[in-house]
Structure formats: C-alpha cells, structure tokens
Amino acid sequence: MRRTISALILALAIFTLPSVCIGQADVHALKTAAELSDFEKTSRYEEVMTFLRGIESASDKMHLTSFGYSTEARELPLMIFGDVENASPETVLATGKTRVYLQGNIHAGEVCGKEALLMLLREMAAGDHDEWLQTMVVLVAPIYNVDGNERVSLYNRGRQNGPIAGMGQRPNAQNYDLNRDHLKIDSPEARSLVKFINKYDPHVLVDFHTTNGDYHAYHLTYSPPLHPNTDHRIVDFLKKKWLPEMTTTIKKKHGWDYYYYGNTPRRGSKRERGWYTFDHRPRFSNNYAGLRNRLGILSEAYSYATFKDRILASLYFGTEILHFAHKNGQKIKQLVDEADRTPVVGKMMAVKARHHRAEEEIDLLMGEVTPLKNPYTGRTIYERKDVRTVERMPDYGQFKGTEMVRVPTAYYVPADLRPAVDRLQWHGASIETVAADTTIMVEQFTIDSSRVATREYQGHKAQTLFGSSAVSEVKIAAGTLRIPMDQPLARIIFALLEPRSDDGIVAWGYLTRTLKGKKVYPILRQAGAGK
C-alpha cells in the first residue's frame, strides 16, 4: 500500500511541477493521464510535455526537442531515443543506424496512439529495450495534432468506446485534416513534418490511428503504402515478411488478432461485399512515405474496444515494430537505398487508380458490438463483444493504376508558378535553373476542357483537366526551373506535377485561376535526353 501511494505521489508531482528530475529506477512510477484516471481521460498538451520532461530526466538516452509549430504556435514535441549525444539531425544521421519514426494523434479524437507512445517511451527510459540502442535511433512524436488535442469535448467521436471524459477533435485549428495534407502541405504542422523528414530522413514511418468503421473482430488493423507507384520491394517486404511476422508474434504473446485495414461496403452500396482498404493517394501518411521510398505503416486500433485495450493494442504494435526493425535493420536500410537509387525515368506510372480485386478470397474475422450509455452525455457508445465469425469474401486490399503516364526525364516549371515551386521546395526536391534561353523538344499537355467541383473539400475545390499531350519544339526561358527526375523524390514530384494526377496541384485546385481561359498546361515534360 505504501509503495502504491508513493508511486501516485510521484506521478502527481510530475504533472504539477514544471520540471522534476527522476531516476531510471523510478521512471515506471511515472503515469499518463489515462492511467491515472483509470482510462477515463486522455492527456492534454501540457501533461504530455511534463511527462516527456520527466522521461528525459530519467535517461541519458532520451533527448527531447521539437520539430516545428502548430497553427496556434504550440511546439511539436519530438523525443529521440538513441545512443547519441544530442537530438540534432547531424548527430542522428552520423550513427548510420536504422531510424524509425513513430507518430501519434494526427487525429486528436484518436488518442490511443498518443498514450501508447508515452508508455513505450517510459519503457525505453527505464532500460527495458536497451538492445534497440545497438541498431536504431527511435524518433517519437506522440502528439502531432497538438491544437486539435486541446479542443476536448465529450461529444467528439460519439460512438467510440471512450475515453468517456472527452477527447480532442479530428482536424487542426485551421479545420484541416492533417492526414489529407501530406502532399499539398497547407498547414504549419504538415510543413513542420516534411521539414523533419527531410532533416532526419527516417527509414520507417509509423502513424497511429483509431478506426471508425466496421464491426470486425480485430484489436488492430494496419496498412502498408497503397499507391501503385510505390517501389514494389517495399510493399512486398511489408506484406510478405514484416506485417505477417508481427501478427503471428502478437497473437502468440497476447492472444489478439491483427489484420490489414479494411471495411465492408455500407448498406445500400452498389459494391460487392468484400474487404476494402481506404485510399491510395499520397495525401495519407503511409502512402506519402511509400512514394518517398520509405517504409510507411498505418496502425488503426479498433474503435469499439475499450480505451485501455486500444492503448495496449497500439503499444504491442509499436513494440513489435521496433523489435523487428532492430533485428532487420540492415535489410530495411538496403531496401530504402535500393529504392532511392532505382531510376523511374521512362517507366509507366499511374496518375489515377482504383481498388483491385485479388485473385483469392480471404477469411475475415467479423465481430459484434453492444450499445452502452456514456455516463456523462447519455449518448450511445458501442463496446466490442468477444465474438469472432469467419466470413469468406473478396479482398480489395490493393490498388491498380487506371490511367498510366510515362515518367519524363525532367519537368520545366515557370519560376513564378508558386503553388508548384513552393511545394517542390518544401518536399525537398532537387531543382535546377535554366541559365539561358534554349529551344528543345518537350511534351505539352493541351487542355480540351476542365471540371471544377461545386463543393469545397479541405479548403479547396477540386479540378480535373481533360486533354492530351503532344511533342513540340518550345523555347524555354532563362530562369525557368528544371526538375530532374533522376532523383529519390521522383515519385512525389510525378504525383505533384502531372496534370491528370488525382492528388497533385491541379487536383487540389491550386491552378484553377491560372488555367482559366488557357489551352496549354504551363508545366512541360522533357521526354528525351539532355537539358
């Protein structure tokens, strides 16, 4: 009893004092807001920051820094676990070790990842995983959507099974969904994240979420990169080795089932009943990572499991990801290096894609829920029942390109076309400047017609161009930007600049005014050799 009281006093002290130094032996007594409230609450921003400071004080392997700012100017915390002297990207890169990035709370109503990552950091600080230090540097951002986290309401995520004392909102303070902002990067948070990726260059990026869909029997579902332009070796390694091995390990250790993320069609849908994954476009974190030639993994804890179980499911997943990365670090680095060095110029790649039905059907574990009342709002929430019903159905867990375009040698972008230039620079693309007027053969996209959406989505009205490309001789003015495609970011650049891309600057409506009344798309493609 005395030991329990001492632990509680220590935990409360950490949350009430600006800075408390604790030793490694005491770090397990440091508790999250979720643990202290018997999983009724989730951690607020200042509680997270105080917890992280306590973690840092407990271990010289923990280095607390930040990687940018939110819309409301809150710092975005980053904890680095590694055998390094400081948190600088130069120091981290100099180790030559595998770099794994774990991110929570991109949707601030999906808070189990945030709590799980704090608990995982506590284990690291306590020395529970010191073997990881030999091969890895682990970078953890437990609370990415910091502004959304502070907009707590008892009515957010209404059907979700807790935390019943409320949670934050899905979007950031600008009302942008940050998991739709990885390619267009409208928000300060997304620009901060991409800046971090450019500096620290993690080999693996993991994004923790909570589902809001089907009544299945899995405690957690996951996804590799889904865009068909992703280097196939990355997807194959995740689907044939990494994710299956983790699934087997977690089942043996904890008795819980994990599987690929998906949903069955809603009632009234014209789709055949099957298991459909979400979306292939690089606006989503795991798909963006894949097009950067990195191993992107999406984690989705089950919405109707208890809050405690969702946290534990995420914790188990994060732990096993790091165990696997520790054992397979050389292979991971090799895959990334090979993907970066593999040329894509001249290859046919997708500008649009759709769900692809796999040849073989799969056995899904479907589940059931029971309605409960939130004791504070009186509204109905749903709780997972321990039911597993096997249903065989078609597998729509991947995408296939429906419109293919050959990758050019380079793009030529007018220097004043800011929507394109800014994003190329933010993403870290290599850019050259044409020194003098020159006349070359290029491909021009002629616009036959255009369609602009009537409704806004994420602050934009989507645009679709219709037309065709033809080769012609064009004078390129001095000062025009040349974007060579023999660079690691070629897949991202392709998605951004192609006029028919389903997630590029045209699709997001950035050029609607620029293109009004125009017959030629201003970005040119160089198909042959030379400059």
Would residue 362 count as lying in a domain?
A: no
Q: How many CA atoms lie within 13 A of 486 on its CB side?
A: 8
Match 């704090």 to its residue by tokens: 118
81, β-bridge pairs: 62, 138
pLDDT at position 21, please? 67
- If asked whether residues 122 and 11 sit together in one domain, one would say yes
What's the average model confidence in pLDDT over 489-494?
Answer: 98
What sign has the CA pseudo-torsion 177, 180, 182, 186?
A: negative
487 sits in which H/E element: none
Would residue 253 count as lying in a domain?
A: yes
Would residue 304 count as lying in a domain?
A: yes
Cα angle value 388/389/392 (rounded, 5°): 135
Within 10 angstroms of residue 513's Cβ, the number of other Cβ atoms is: 8
Give DSSP secondary structure letters for 380-448: EEEEEEEEEEEEEE-EE-EEEEEEEEEPPSEEEE-TT-HHHHHHHHHHT---EE--S-EEEEEEEEEEE
> CA-to-CA distance for 64 and 80, rounded, in angstroms?
6
Would residue 210 count as lying in a domain?
A: yes
289 sits in which H/E element: helix 285-291
What's the average model confidence in pLDDT over 405-423?
Answer: 98
Match 């796999």 to its residue by tokens: 358
Task: With cut-offs at 50, 70 and 90, classify the pLDDT of residue 407.
Answer: very high
- If asked whether residues 325 and 436 sit together in one domain, one would say no
pLDDT (tens digit per residue) in 74-86: 999 999 999 999 9
Match 């540097």 to its residue by tokens: 137
Residue 212 pLDDT > 90, yes or no?
Answer: no
Would residue 366 count as lying in a domain?
A: no
The DSSP code for 49 is: H
Q: Can you say how many angstroms the Cα of residue 13 is from the centroid of all Cα atoms in its chain?
A: 34
- Number of structural domains (the chain) is 2
- If asked whether residues 440 and 310 sit together in one domain, one would say no
Query: Minimum mean pLDDT among 3-7, 154-158, 260-264: which range?
Result: 3-7
pLDDT (tens digit per residue) in 2-18: 444 344 444 444 444 44
Q: How far is CA 417 from CA 412, 424, 484, in A?
A: 11, 11, 17
Rounded mean pLDDT of the chain? 95
> What percentage of the chain reaches a pLDDT higher than 70?
95
CATH code, domain with 48: 3.40.630.10
pLDDT at position 158, please? 87
> CA-to-CA distance for 60 and 57, rounded, in angstroms?
7
- Domain boundary (337, 358, 386) is at 337
Within 10 angstroms of residue 466's Cβ, the number of other Cβ atoms is: 11
Instruction: Please tell me whether residue 222 adopts helix, strand or coil conformation.
Output: strand
Residue 451: give the domain boundaries: 408-526
**Length of the chain measured in residues:** 531
Residue 45 pLDDT > 70, yes or no?
Answer: yes
> CA-to-CA distance for 183 and 165, rounded, in angstroms?
34
- Domain boundary (337, 372, 397) is at 337
Q: What is the pTM of this model?
A: 0.95
pLDDT at position 26, please? 87
- If asked whether residues 177 and 273 sit together in one domain, one would say yes
What's the average model confidence in pLDDT over 103-117?
Answer: 98
- If asked whether residues 418 and 511 sit together in one domain, one would say yes
What sign has the CA pseudo-torsion 468, 288, 134, 79?
A: positive
Would residue 473 count as lying in a domain?
A: yes
What's the average model confidence in pLDDT over 301-305?
Answer: 98
Match 């070796």 to its residue by tokens: 233
- Domain boundary (314, 337, 360) is at 337
Would residue 16 count as lying in a domain?
A: yes
- If asked whether residues 425 and 328 sit together in one domain, one would say no
- If asked whether residues 186 and 288 sit together in one domain, one would say yes
Those residues with Cβ within 8 angstroms of residue 312's Cβ, 6 or more apart along the chain or in another chain = 116, 254
- If asked whether residues 56 and 200 sit together in one domain, one would say yes
pLDDT at position 528, please? 61
Would residue 25 count as lying in a domain?
A: yes
Within 10 angstroms of residue 478's Cβ, the number of other Cβ atoms is: 11
Nearest to 344 by CA among 491, 236, 163, 465: 491
φ/ψ bin of 509: left (φ > 0), alpha (ψ from -120 to 50), beta (otherwise): left
What's the average model confidence in pLDDT over 409-423?
Answer: 98
What's the average model confidence in pLDDT over 118-145?
Answer: 98
> CA-to-CA distance for 499 and 522, rounded, in angstroms?
10
